[in-house]
Each structure stands twice: as C-alpha cells, then as structure tokens.
Amino acid sequence: MNGIVAKRLVFAVLDTDGDGVISRDDYFTRIDRLTVATGRGEEDPMVVHARAAGERAWAEMDADGDGKMTEDEYLAWVGVEAFDNICSPALGALFDLADADRDGIVNRPEFIMLRTALGNPAINAEAAFDALDVDGDGRVSRHDYLMSIRTHIAGKDSPAGAVLYRTGTPETAG
C-alpha cells in the first residue's frame, strides 16, 4: 500500500468526529473509550500511564499548539521516526491497558476491544487479529501489534494494517 494512502487511512480513524482535523478531544476520546471498555478507573496506574503517553504524543503532534492537526500537518509529521519515538509508546500503553493479565499478549476479545475503542470497525479489528495471529494460537504480542502498524505507516505490506484501516464494507474495501 502506498505510504500516503496508508497515512490518510490512519488519519481518518484518528479524526473520531469526522470534521477533517484531529483535535485534542479526538485523540483523547480513544483513551476514554478504552478506559471505559476495560472497566478501569482514572486512578488506575495503567490509565495514568496511557494518558501520560498520550499527552507526550499529543504535544508532539500538535507542535504549533493550536489544538488540532490537519491532514496536511499529519501527513508531514507521521512516519517511521515519529512512530518509533512518539506513536509506539502511546499505542503500546493502550495495548497494555487492554492486556488484562499484563503478559504482553492480547487474546482475540482483548484485541477487538482495543481496536474498536480506538475507532476501528469490529469487522476490521477481527480481520487484523486474524492477520496477526499467524500461528493460530489465539494470541497477539505487543511487539507484533506495534510492528504491524509501523509497517503500515511506512507504506509497506502489512496484512494487519491493510485490513485494520480499510474503509467501506468487506466486499468493497479490497
């Protein structure tokens, strides 16, 4: 998949209200939804950590401090370096929230919960889990999850990223 197309698809998921910009509210709505989905409270150390990682990521994403990130700003900013230094820690903290037993691995229901809370349709999350669970053991590691998104952002072949960020119905998403 072309890197620009891949990045635009991620942008669309991050723009939770569909107004054409990623706002601070859009970004933190995802953490709010996952906190509720996991049944954790705001004082839970994992939630505190996820919010702190989110704050660091948002500060980098919103470099001009205007409270929003346009698609053009996002496309200019996001890439492998931004993923490695900014996005990976934030996404890893969210993965950890979903990882109920804290073993660095999520099962199918945990993965679906994670990705639907982050804004992906359940059918996309299910297909992404299947793509990541290459040995069929019903588990996906934190490393494999993060690398699949990194690969997608880089515009390289990421079967999980391709289905996670597809648009339309399964018949039209391609």
Gap between the Cα atoms of 109 and 98, Å rounded: 9
Residue 61 in domain: yes
- CATH number of the domain that residue 119 is part of: 1.10.238.10
Q: Is 60 domain-assigned?
A: yes
Q: Print the domain residue range for 85.
A: 3-165
For residue 137, how many other CB atoms are within 10 A of its CB? 9
- 40: in domain: yes
Burial category of 77 from C-beta neighbours within 10 Å (exposed 0-12, middle 13-18, buried 19 and up): middle
Residue 171 included in any domain: no
Amino acid at 74: Y
Is 127 inside any structural domain?
A: yes
- The answer to whether position 53 is within a domain reads yes
87 found inside a domain = yes
pLDDT single digits (tens) 40-67? 999 999 999 999 999 999 999 998 999 9
Residues 107-155 have pLDDT tens digits of 999 999 999 999 999 999 999 999 999 999 999 999 999 999 999 988 8
Domain tally for the chain?
1
Other Cβ atoms closer than 10 A to 162:
21
pTM for this model (two decimals):
0.90
Task: Tell me, yes or no, whether 27 lies in a domain.
Answer: yes
For residue 166, is pLDDT > 80? Answer: no
In which residue are the tokens 């492998």 written?
80
